[in-house]
Structure 1
């Protein structure tokens, strides 16, 4: 951590993000991948429901109700990933140590590259659809741009969740100490 004094908010967030009571949810790489896959699936489902609501004329409000029902598991999955990363993306920069700060920079750079490729793909898809149809599909432009925006927003969380390393076990620590002597 830097020499900047932590505010009460910073200390509360540090305590919350380093709380190990939920560690069983993300203790292994497979569980972390499952949490990220669940989060991606829920994000896509929520986006699809909102797109359906946007594009369907005269539809009842069931997509909004289904979206509201999916928000709770989406928030739980977000919390699991944030717990696994120890708040890498949620804590303020001055509350991170040097290793965490460097990891945050790597995560943000990688997610930026992936999002840039996704945005380029979305633009090419709209242009290709416009060439095939003679006119760009205006009805799909807004939902597609919202989908790319949401993906840009959550991509760092997904990348960070996939990059987290397992916590060292007691055997690993004892082995390292034995090799160090």
Structure 2
């Protein structure tokens, strides 16, 4: 952490991100992977319901209700991943120490590369589909691009959650 004085916001965010009450959700690498997998699944489900809502004919109000129900566990999983990374992506740069800042840069670079590949795959899929059918699938272009933008927004969180290290075990004092 630098010598810059922390604002009230920085202090409260630092306390929230270092709160260990939910540590059971992310104490081991397997639990962190499971939490990230659940988060990815919930994100895909919410995105699929959102796409269905806009592409379906009629008024699929059930999709809105289902998205509202899925949003709470999605937020819990987001908080668990942020807790596992100790706010690596949520805290401002001047609050992080040198190691955390370097880790943040690695996570952002890796997620940027992954998102670039995903965007290239999405564009290729649209171009191939348009070339085979002779017409671009315009109805699916907007939902696909929105999905890629959502993944671009959330990918750093997933990468940080998957690459977070286990907390060092607390050393017990030897009894004489």
- Report the TM-score when normalising by structure 2: 0.96
Q: Residue 156 of structure 1 corresponds to which residue in structure 2?
A: 156
Equivalent-residue separation in structure 2 for 1:60 and 1:11 (angstroms): 43
Structure 1 residue aligned with 2:3: 3
1:1-181 matches, cutoff 5 A: 1-170=1-170
Gaps of 5+ in 2: none
Instruction: Give me the whole-angstrom Cα distance separating, in 1, the residues matched to 2:168 and 2:69.
Output: 37
SS at match of 2:22: helix
Q: Which runs of 5+ in 1 are unaligned?
A: 175-181
For 2:131 and 2:161, locate their aligned partners in 1 and report how far apart those are by CA, in whole Å.
38
Q: Deviations over 1:92-132 (max 9, x none)?
A: 00000000000000000000000000000000000000001
How big is the shift at 1:25?
Answer: 1.0
The alpha-carbon deviation at position 60 of structure 1 amounts to: 2.7
When structure 1 is superposed on structure 2, of 122-131 and 161-170 the one drifting more is: 161-170
What per-residue deviation string (whole Å, max 9, x for no partner) do you get for residues 64-105 of structure 1? 110111000000000000000000000000000000000000
Note the aligned Cα RMSD (angstroms): 1.1
List structure 1 runs of 4+ shifted beyond 2 angstroms.
Answer: none
